[in-house]
Amino acid sequence: MSSDHVVSITSCTEAIFMAMELFEFQFFNEIIVPTISFIAVPSAVKKYAKIRLCDVNKDTLQLTVDDIEKSTTYNTKAVFLTHYGGFSCEMKEIVRYCEDKNLILLEDSACSMFTKHDNKSCGTFGDMGMWSLDSMKIITAGDGGIMYFKDKGIADKARRKTYLGLMQESGLESSKTKDSMWWEYDISSSEKRLIMNDISASIGLSQLSRKDEILKKRESIISTYDKHLSNISHIKILKDIKSDYVTPYYYTIQTPYRNQIATYLLENDVYTTFKYYPIHKISFFEEDTYLYNNKLDFPNSEYVSNCTLNLPLHGNLTENETINICKLIKEWEI
């Protein structure tokens, strides 16, 4: 991947909102969004265009080409998918469909930085992809985001939009190559300053050098969970078995006793959660759950939202702590 196609930004959320401006979506354009998405995605879409919510696969929480096809209308302009929790959507089919329908494809790969699918990195299949470097991610810069663009022209546009609309650099570096004086510059439009700062970039580069160590630690935690939870009859462990490599970001289970187990774990000082609370259940997006006055149905997402739980998975979690979490789950009585 050429660096000419990559641009840094202050956060992945800013990248999501930036996508709406870069591709110049209009209020009448529909953008397909899975209802299991990080809240920034539908918020950005709603601000600039129209949300077309769709369901997900209940076994992976991923958007599928069937979901996209069912949700496509005459006004559909783009698909904004989420590679959930380190997993990958089945991209070959989705890319082919978007190309056939002339749809812009945007990838929220915030949690799937290292995931490989069909020998390609998540975030590089579509027209634009984005990764997060916030404090909760595997590689952190304190905060920050990285954007990838298939089209170098859009990447150049993103560089200007993230740095005050500047058409060229001024200062010491430009003094070596410019014909005019190095303090001279021009801008193309009124823009914010959204570039990642040097301190964050330094932290991110340092973390990246520890990538193998960080991934190995999280993979070890997953192995421990698998060993101790795989034989519990009411628990299903979610896996992405179709990707070449899966980023070990979430450890996700499904059980009909999700709320009871989560409450029991919390009573024993173990914090769990469910990402992401479905968009169609949030009042702000209530009007987006309708199409032609008919309320849309999301049966898989309903199932997911009632049964899914993300167990602790982070670099400071010890093997003994992981085993203790498993013991507490086993101790809980149905």
Contacts of 260 (CB under 8 A, 6+ apart): 332
Choice among 91-105, 118-132, 158-172, 309-323 with the minimum mean pLDDT: 158-172
The Cα–Cα gap between 133 and 143 comes to: 5
Give the domain extent around 16.
3-208
> Domain ends where: 176, 208, 240?
208
* Closest among 37, 272, 41, 12 to 134, alpha carbons compared: 12
CATH number of the domain residue 268 falls in? 3.90.1150.10
Is the separation of the CB atoms in 185 and 5 below 8 Å?
A: no
CATH number of the domain residue 99 falls in? 3.40.640.10
Residues 204 and 250 in one domain: no
Helical pair 152-162 and 12-22, crossing angle rounded to 10 deg = 120
Angle at 153 between CA 92 and CA 88, to 5 degrees: 25
Q: How far is CA 191 from CA 131, 157, 306, in A?
A: 22, 11, 42
Position 166 pLDDT exceeds 90: no
The Cα–Cα gap between 84 and 71 comes to: 19
Tens digits of per-residue pLDDT, 234-259?
A: 999 999 999 999 999 999 999 999 99
Judged on CB neighbours under 10 Å (0-12, 13-18, 19+), 205 is: exposed
Judged on CB neighbours under 10 Å (0-12, 13-18, 19+), 138 is: buried
Residues 301 and 225 in one domain: yes
The Cα–Cα gap between 126 and 245 comes to: 19
Q: Rounded to a whole number, what is the distance in angstroms from the first to the last CA of the chain?
A: 51
Tens digits of per-residue pLDDT, 12-34?
A: 999 999 999 999 999 999 999 99
Portion of the chain with pLDDT greater than 70, in percent: 96
User: Tokens representing 104?
Assistant: 């812009």
Is the separation of the CB atoms in 114 and 87 below 8 Å?
A: no
How many of the other CB atoms lie within 10 Å of CB of 302? 16
Per the structure, how many domains does the chain have? Answer: 2
Give CA 327 to chain center in angstroms. Answer: 31
Give CA 280 to chain center in angstroms. Answer: 18
Residues 192 and 90 in one domain: yes
Is the separation of the CB atoms in 9 and 15 below 8 Å?
A: yes
Looking at per-residue pLDDT, the higher value among 84 and 173 belongs to 84
Residues 173 and 246 in one domain: no
> Domain ends where: 179, 208, 237?
208
- Grade residue 154 by pLDDT with cuts at 50, 70 and 90: very high
